[in-house]
């Protein structure tokens, strides 16, 4: 399935809310990605995603519609050589290899654009799909913290995957 990464814009608001308002997506993300996901959440996110230069938070576009997001978040202070990877994809598009390719693309972008030598991601222990996608892209499991996260009243493991330049 063809996709492209592009900057978010306010015209994406309806598709963002349409696809992000899904408990099957929210359950694998921080509480900063709420459920229900409403227009006000979408407006705030698009403002945030378009505020920085260079843009580093992108919409995943299929046929002109934003169906997910992926971003690279450079760290500061003593972690300034690191960046965190975050991503989500609308449920109707799962299993088509889109996120595997999008991660490959964003990792290349990040190492070219930012003065970093490590990209990390923190999937929940109950999200094997995300773990598999990271492994397909050369990320290795660096750490596992048992029952350190709480999501929807459930204690979850936090995993740290990383790839180095």
- Stretch 9-35: mean pLDDT, rounded? 97
Band of the pLDDT at 54, cuts 50, 70, 90?
A: very high
Domain contains 151: no
- Report how far residue 120's alpha carbon sits from residue 141's, in angstroms, rounded to the nearest whole number: 10
> At which residue do the structure tokens 């694998």 appear?
28
- Stretch 78-107: mean pLDDT, rounded? 97
So what's the pLDDT on residue 135? 98
Q: Which region holds residue 138: left if phi is over 0, alpha if psi is between -120 and 50, else beta?
A: left
Domain span holding position 68? 4-121
- Stretch 86-108: mean pLDDT, rounded? 97
Residue 76, pLDDT > 90, answer yes
Domain count, the chain: 1
Domain contains 18: yes
- Report how far residue 53's alpha carbon sits from residue 45's, in angstroms, rounded to the nearest whole number: 16
- Stretch 39-58: mean pLDDT, rounded? 97
Domain contains 129: no
So what's the pLDDT on residue 133? 97
Residue 1, pLDDT > 90, answer no
Domain contains 8: yes
- Stretch 49-58: mean pLDDT, rounded? 96
Q: Which two tokens stand for residue 22?
A: 């899904």
SS3 of the chain: the string is: CCCEEEECCHHHHHHHHHHHCCHHHHCCCCCCCCCCCCHHHHHHHHHHHCCCCCCCEEEEEECCEEEEEEEEEECCHHHCCEEEEEEEECHHHCCCCHHHHHHHHHHHHHHHHCCCCEEEECCECCCHHHHHHHHHCCCEEEEEEEEEEEECCEEEEEEEEEEEC
Domain contains 148: no
Band of the pLDDT at 67, cuts 50, 70, 90?
A: very high
Domain contains 127: no
pTM of the model: 0.95
Domain contains 68: yes
Q: In this structure, what CATH number is given to the domain that contains residue 22?
A: 3.40.630.30
> At which residue do the structure tokens 């050589």 appear?
81
Domain contains 86: yes
Write out pLDDT tens, residues 103-126. 999 999 999 999 999 999 999 999
Band of the pLDDT at 154, cuts 50, 70, 90?
A: very high
Residue 62, pLDDT > 90, answer yes
- Stretch 90-95: mean pLDDT, rounded? 96
């Amino acid at each position: 399935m063809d996709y492209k990464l592009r900057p978010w814009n306010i015209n994406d608001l309806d598709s963002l809310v349409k696809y992000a308002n899904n408990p099957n997506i929210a359950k694998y993300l921080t509480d900063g990605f709420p459920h229900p996901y409403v227009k006000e959440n979408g407006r705030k996110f698009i403002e945030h995603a378009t505020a920085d230069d260079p843009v580093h938070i992108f919409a995943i576009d299929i046929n002109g519609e934003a169906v997910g997001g992926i971003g690279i978040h450079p760290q500061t202070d003593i972690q300034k050589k690191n960046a965190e990877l975050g991503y989500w994809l609308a449920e109707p598009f799962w299993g088509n290899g889109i996120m595997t390719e999008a991660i490959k693309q964003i990792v290349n972008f990040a190492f070219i654009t930012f003065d970093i030598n490590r990209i990390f991601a923190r999937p929940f222990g109950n999200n094997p799909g995300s773990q598999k996608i990271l492994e397909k892209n050369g990320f290795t499991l660096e750490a596992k913290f048992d029952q350190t996260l709480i999501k929807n009243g459930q204690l979850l493991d936090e995993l740290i995957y990383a790839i180095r330049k």
